[in-house]
Structure 1
Amino acid sequence: MSERHLASERVGQFFVETDSGRDRLEYTEYGTGDKWVVLLPGLLMPRRMHDHLARTLASAGAHVVTLDFLGHGRSDQPDDPFGYSVSSFARQVVALLDELGAAQAVVGGTSLGANVALEVAAIAPDRVRGLILEMPVLDNALEVAIVAFAPLLLGARVFPFAFSGIRFLSRRVPRGVVPWWLGIGLDTVDHKPGPLASYVHGLFFGRVAPPRAERRRITAPALVVGHPRDLLHPASDAAMVADELPNATLVTATSILEWRRKPERLDLVTTKFVLDSWRPARRARRTGA
């Protein structure tokens, strides 16, 4: 997969007030203009996981921003469980829009990022022009999520030296000499054990996504991308949320790898969705009495 770099790419930062103090968040902008798109990463992953899609959308005329939530990538990683939740991440997205002076944006994300996008639409519906929801984690993923992440919380608390060792080794690998997705994986395990345990603790005991009744009230157009044969992100969750949202379109990927290995089809669908979301609404024709 070839990578395009736009001359207008730039990194920015802003600050949010949390229970642990004043924390710094970092983001990257691609392109210019008023057709804002915010892309949000998956669990513990850095914002650069969306570099390719951001450049694709920017080359089509969108103004794209990728964000590292608190605890992700190059943003601050406080050791405080109250700083980490889907609700707090959603408020960080709204704060980003305020920082950029963006009245509205198409908000999208992968896995955790999809859940946060739904939460933004629930708490600030007037700020959301559209939603891109890739493999949301909802009701049907509960048991697998507990089995997958409870050991992460326990291990970071009981065996912090092991996680510090993994972090030490990951930092010894220059990102420029390894395949791009391997570099994303190395960034994903680059977490101090204290903040990592706080992160998982906060997500476990916070609100994971808007409940069904709230999801049914989200009227923004939505593009939902589901994957077959994915236990943590079951296709049934994608189909469920697509059925709940009144203006949703469901697209089924061939696998979780399609958007990573052969992204052309999903890039095309997503680009069309973003541009359509920013087209002015048609006025209803007047009819004679």
Structure 2
Amino acid sequence: MLVSERIGQFFLDTGDRLEYTEFGAGERFVVLLHPQLMTRRVQQPLARTLASQGLHVVTLDLLGHGRSDRPADPPAYSVPAFAAQVLALLDHLGAERAVVGGTSLGANVALQVAVSAPDRVRGLVVEMPLLDNALTVGLLAGTPLLLAARFAPFTVAAVRRATRAVPRGVVPFWAGVWLDSCNQRSGPLAAVLHGVLFGSLAPSAEQRRSIGVPVLVVGHDADPLHPVADAEMLAGELPRSRFVRARSIMEWRLAPERLDAEAVRFVLDAWDVRRTRPRRRGTAH
């Protein structure tokens, strides 16, 4: 089924511009969010799949990412600030409520949206959340990149020049997504990393336990940056969760049929399209 796709933009109160893509139409909104330093293009395949089911799907480049503005100001970047941007997007679209989904950083932002504005959220799709078990690994992985952006900006510029020279039309889709993530400038890159790593990365456990909407939690084995223990812990905290274990880090990218079906079923249930109650806590393998 072919669906319409439209690119749009809106402006925050700060004057910063954010860009998004809409897939499909209607009042059953789904917002999908990308991992840190990546772009909304990473959610394009899932967005098209969900839109083919009659859902109105929106993928957003958060501030400092993709084609949105990139101020070089660390206080501009935090999970609560990103959540406020999602709510501003819903206001811009005239959407009262939405299912909000995200991967990695985007998963944490989705959780924060549910905590900050529970009346705006119909359900959550949370893949690879970054919680307690990921903090040390996240700091170890992010700090060298932060230092390079601050004190050796020529390295960031060199990577940007080299990857921008590769025509996107001649590489596989996921290679193009990775190349897009290398399109960084040292000042904004350092600001994003500083703001996220040393700010509020996720809602507290007490806040997470207050989330009352249905939540689909997807975790990966053998993923050092996103320990499956965090996903399992989150599923155990949430009163209306379903935990699905991915077979590999790349399953949803390279062989998405099983997880796409889980996501479609969950989102349709969350919007009552199937007229079934959202399933309570369970596990799928």
Q: Same fold (TM over 0.5)?
A: yes
Deviation at 1:258, TM superposition (A): 0.4
* 3-state DSSP of counterpart to 2:226: coil
Aligned sequence identity (%): 60
**1:204 matches 2:200:** no
Q: Which residue of 2 aligns with 1:242?
A: 235
Residue from 49, 56, 68 that aligns with 2:42: 49
Distance 2:134 2:210 in 1: 22
Matches within 5 A, 1:140-151: 140-151=133-144
Match of 1:13 in 2: 9
- Residue 266 of structure 2 corresponds to 273
SS of 2:16 mapped into structure 1:
strand
Q: Which runs of 5 or more structure 1 residues have no equivalent in the other structure?
A: 284-289
The Cα of 1:170 is off from its aligned counterpart by 1.2
Segments of structure 2 that go 5 or more residues without pairing to the other structure are 278-285
- For residues 1-289 of structure 1, the aligned pairs below 5 Å read 6=3, 8-18=4-14, 22-279=15-272
What is the SS of the residue equivalent to 2:63?
A: coil
Q: Is the 8 A contact 2:18 2:61 kept in 1?
A: yes
SS at match of 1:201: helix
Give the TM-score taking structure 2 as reference length: 0.95
**Equivalents in 2 of 1:17, 1:152: separation in Å?**
30
Alpha-carbon distance between aligned partners in 2 of 1:213 and 1:79, rounded to the nearest angstrom: 32
Please tell me whether Structure 1 or Structure 2 has the larger radius of gyration of its CA atoms. Answer: 1
Secondary structure at the counterpart of residue 66 of structure 1: strand
- Equivalent residue of 1:76, what SS? coil
Q: Distance in 2 between matches of 1:168 and 1:213?
A: 45
Contact residue 115 and residue 208 of structure 2 kept, 8 A: yes
Q: Do 2:2 and 2:52's aligned partners in 1 also have CA atoms closer than 8 Å?
A: no
2:214 and 2:241 in contact (8 A); partners too: yes
Give the AA of the match of 1:218: I
For residue 15 of structure 1, report the CA deviation from its aligned partner. 0.4
CA distance, structure 2, for counterparts of residue 77 and residue 26 of structure 1? 12
Q: CA deviation at 1:205?
A: 1.8
1:249-281 deviations in whole A, cap 9, x for unaligned? 000000111001100000001000000000178
Shift of 1:17: 2.4
* TM-score, with length taken from structure 1: 0.93
After superposition, the C-alpha distances for 1:219-273 in whole angstroms (9 at most, x for unaligned) are 0100000000111100000000001011000000001110011000000010000
Q: Which amino acid aligns with 1:216?
A: R
Q: Distance in 1 between matches of 2:32 and 2:16?
A: 20
For the residue of structure 1 that corresponds to 2:221, the secondary structure is coil
> Aligned-pair distance for 1:282?
8.0
Structure 2: which amino acid aligns with 1:137?
Answer: L
Moved over 4 A (4+): 280-283
